[in-house]
Structure 1
Amino acid sequence: MLIIKIGGSIQKDEKDFNLIIQKIEKYLENTDKAIIVTSALKGVTNQLLYATENREKAVEIVSDVYDKHIKLLSKIAEGPSFEFAFREISKLADELFKIAWSIRVLDEVTPRVKDYILSFGERMSTLVLNAVLNSSRINSEAYPEPPIITDENFGDAKVIEKLSLQESSKILEKKSKVIIVPGFIGKTQTNKYTTLGRGGSDYTATILGKLLDIKEVRLITEVPGIMTADPRNFPNATTIKRLSLEEAIELSQMGAKRLHPRTFEPLLNSNVNVIIEGLYDPGYTIVRGDCDNDKGIKGIAVLDNLKLVTAESTDIVGKIGSAARVMNEAKNSGVNIISISQPASETTIQLIVNSQDSEKLSERLMTLPEIESVTTEDVEAVNVVGCGLKYKEIFKEVMKEISNYEILSISRGLNNVSATFIVKKEEGDKLAKDLHEVVLKWTN
């Protein structure tokens, strides 16, 4: 068996779907059954999200979403396949129109309702993809309800693996050779729709691979695998041929290719191999195994729109629990701490947070009696990933490259296969380009 994830960015027109059909036909030559995890059509999730934020326009936006699906369907499907998908999508659209009307009248959206609205993108796309496959004489069946059971943490739900195994096992009972399921979304035990976070379709695919003991997961996207850097900013970026599990986890946590941060977690203690490949280009990246004496440096990822929040005071020196109280204020403010550091002198505590969170965090920290001052500064995090960083001679070369920069903070990642350098915003781009040259020298 095989799991294939089809990304939303490659579901926009007839050409895309013709290439998708060719890919699937190729894979079906060597497998008895395939589970396809699909994202929403290109742009649909953003449209639905926009509807929740601009509620006075919600009905118009939902109408556009419906029209987009029907217009595309009319171009890529025919006969009974078109008719069935048209009916089912129209039923979902009626349901979505009612919700859009409600939020426009109430002018309010709870996290639960927001996830409910976002779920329609993936549920509709399963029907579109099923119609085009059936029209191409591929024996497929849509399973629009999510096979993943989660908790009720709407917006970033956590998978309940035992219950998800029970639910996803029903897929295997289907007689069709291809079963299409929605990515990105889940359901609670009380049948409320949830979302797994942006990029969640990748995570859906790998968690299903683990739960159903399927050895190969293919993530089909618009780029030929994971690149050494973002090709939009680094024209000389190349495709990474192989990543260890540790490297893949670090890159996904740092936002490479907009992968879901938990995409590769299911691979821990499993035999699942993940292949990330392009629809338009032949390149691919294989993710499997550990470092195995690999001395390569694989890629960089840059996190921008960050603030360095520095809390200073001589009153926190030697006082047990000072850092814990600072962290507790961040928790109570709903602020995610990206990085934290404190010198041995204990006179300062430095936190890296998203820029939009810095002001409310600073205000909360100033309420602590032991804190004398709080300052903020625009920064960027430049992350280098590679098993080679475990080796002294290679890490020294990276450190030599950063010697001309004012490094505000350095940290190491999982099993020392990554290093993060915090620099002032104006230095981030140049440091990233310099370090990318080191990556190109050592990548393999």
Structure 2
Amino acid sequence: MRIFKFGGASVKDAEGVRNLIQVLQETGTEKTFLVVSAMGKMTNALEAAVDAYFEDKDAVTPAMEAVESFHLDILRDLFPSEGHPVYREVRRLFEEVRGFLAWNKSPKYGFVYDQVVGYGELLSTTIIGQYLSEEGIENTLLDIRRYIKTDANYRDVRVDWTQTQKEIAALSGSSKLFITQGFLGSDENNFTTTLGREGSDYTAAIIAFCLNAESVTIWKDVPGVLNADPRYFEKTRLLNRISYREAIELAFYGASVIHPKTLQPLQRKEIPLYVKSFLNPSNPGTQVGKGINLDPKIPCFILKKDQVLMKLSSLDFSFIVEENISEIFKLLHDYKMKVDLIQNSAISFSVCFDNRFGQLPGLLQHLKGKYRVKHHEGVSLYTVRHFDSKAIASLLNGRDVLLEQRGKETVQLVIKT
């Protein structure tokens, strides 16, 4: 079985859906498993509806109407006859999510988020599955929530690998074309859970691991894995081949082309990963595999924007030792901060992290009772793998460096923006 993952950019409109068909026609459809994300920016749009639910109930209806209008526009382009059954299916999904928002009693943001935002993937796969059928490509639409089982730590779940493997293994041996949702799972009570932003790559890896897949291909709007994000860096270059280890390092430091959790399941079973352009499917793209040297071996740049840099020192100038560091990390965990860099001296501890769930005020209040706290919000964290002096100089360019950390192959710079 081959696993193909198509992200939101690849199916952002009707033309993108048609292009997906062309990719399948070129690559074939036998023994293929499609994992599809929400269309375009619909995850963001549904997040806005969740925020409105908690902050301004009057804004929920227009937020949901915008999401519905977006999908209906795509439907009208792909299925000119509004009598087509897909319209009924799409409206049923919108009725479900509106029904949930009407009867839900849970005050927990994470729970509501997962129940609502997951409809982006359910809508996209419903539309694409029907369009594949319309174009004569036989397919089976699966609800991935039946197969990927997780705990109930909403928005940041752990996969129950034993149960998930049992469920997905039932699909092995089939020559069908399957289509399913990325990003989603379900807990033991069958409530929807999500695997984290950009989690559709991880979904593809989970399925590949459980089916002992031949390969995984992530179809992107770039030629493959580049040495930098072209949105922020000029003159980027394609990495033709990289090892699992190198790809894991790049993902760990924040390279957006591959989800950080994606690579380890593939590495364990040595399943090749390809990152290719859905605009030029015949091009080779990037191959990720075992024992492959970085080709070409050039500096790789990673940028994480809107980070928080925090420096702690003890109020009595005593040493920051294991007990303090353990306590600090527990608080970072409790407030769901994603730590990207740490540095400590005898009397201070610095940490750069992503305030992904907006809980910084609570964390600062907690820490100020015991430590002297200085922090900078909105900083940028630059990481350069295989750096050289020219690569570092290109980043500095008169900027204010707040923190620098160097290793043998990697340098990290926290820069004030």
Which band: TM-score by shorter chain? 0.7 to 0.9
Offset at residue 363 of structure 1 (A)? 3.1
Letter in 1 for 2:138: N
1:111 aligns with 2:84: no
Matches within 5 A, 1:5-404: 5-28=5-28, 32-55=30-53, 56=57, 57-77=59-79, 83-102=84-103, 110-146=109-145, 147-172=147-172, 177-257=176-256, 259-281=258-280, 282=283, 284-292=285-293, 296-297=297-298, 299-313=300-314, 315-317=317-319, 321-343=323-345, 346-354=346-354, 359-368=361-370, 371=371, 373-377=372-376, 379-385=379-385, 389=386
RMSD of aligned residue pairs (Cα, Å):
3.0
Structure 2 CA distance for partners of 1:39 and 1:330, relative to 1, 3 Å: closer
Matches within 5 A, 1:403-442: 408-412=403-407, 418-426=409-417
CA contact (8 A) 1:316 1:322 kept: no
Determine helix, strand or coil for the equivalent of 2:140: strand
Structure 2 CA distance for partners of 1:320 and 1:172, relative to 1, 3 Å: closer
What is the TM-score when the length of structure 1 is the normalising length? 0.81
Offset at residue 132 of structure 1 (A)? 1.3
Offset at residue 79 of structure 1 (A)? 7.9
Unpaired runs of 5+ residues, structure 1, are 427-444
Offset at residue 84 of structure 1 (A)? 3.3
CA distance in 2: counterparts of 1:401 and 1:52, whole angstroms: 41
Offset at residue 102 of structure 1 (A)? 4.2
Structure 2 CA distance for partners of 1:27 and 1:50, relative to 1, 3 Å: same
What is the TM-score when the length of structure 2 is the normalising length? 0.86
1:174-220 C-alpha deviation (Å, 9 max, x unpaired):
67x31101100001122110000111111101111111000211111
CA distance in 2: counterparts of 1:324 and 1:14, whole angstroms: 51
Structure 2 CA distance for partners of 1:11 and 1:365, relative to 1, 3 Å: same
CA distance in 2: counterparts of 1:124 and 1:288, whole angstroms: 33
Unpaired runs of 5+ residues, structure 2, are none
Offset at residue 377 of structure 1 (A)? 3.6
Structure 2 CA distance for partners of 1:318 and 1:86, relative to 1, 3 Å: closer
Offset at residue 315 of structure 1 (A)? 4.0
Count of aligned residue pairs for this structure pair:
404
Determine helix, strand or coil for the equivalent of 2:39: coil
CA distance in 1: counterparts of 2:320 and 2:97, whole angstroms: 57
Structure 2 CA distance for partners of 1:171 and 1:66, relative to 1, 3 Å: farther
CA distance in 2: counterparts of 1:41 and 1:309, whole angstroms: 36
Letter in 2 for 1:290: G
CA distance in 1: counterparts of 2:27 and 2:254, whole angstroms: 29
Letter in 2 for 1:263: T
What is residue 436 of structure 1 aligned with on the other side?
none
CA contact (8 A) 2:225 2:257 kept: no
Percent pairwise identity: 24
Letter in 2 for 1:151: D
Offset at residue 107 of structure 1 (A)? 10
1:130-189 C-alpha deviation (Å, 9 max, x unpaired):
1111111111121134331111110011111111112223334767x3110110000112
Determine helix, strand or coil for the equivalent of 1:257: coil
Answer with 70-79 or 47-56: which moved more.
70-79
Higher helix share: 1
1:95-114 C-alpha deviation (Å, 9 max, x unpaired):
112123346xx795532222
Letter in 2 for 1:423: V
1:337-361 C-alpha deviation (Å, 9 max, x unpaired):
3222222xx1211122236665544
Letter in 2 for 1:212: L
Determine helix, strand or coil for the equivalent of 1:233: coil
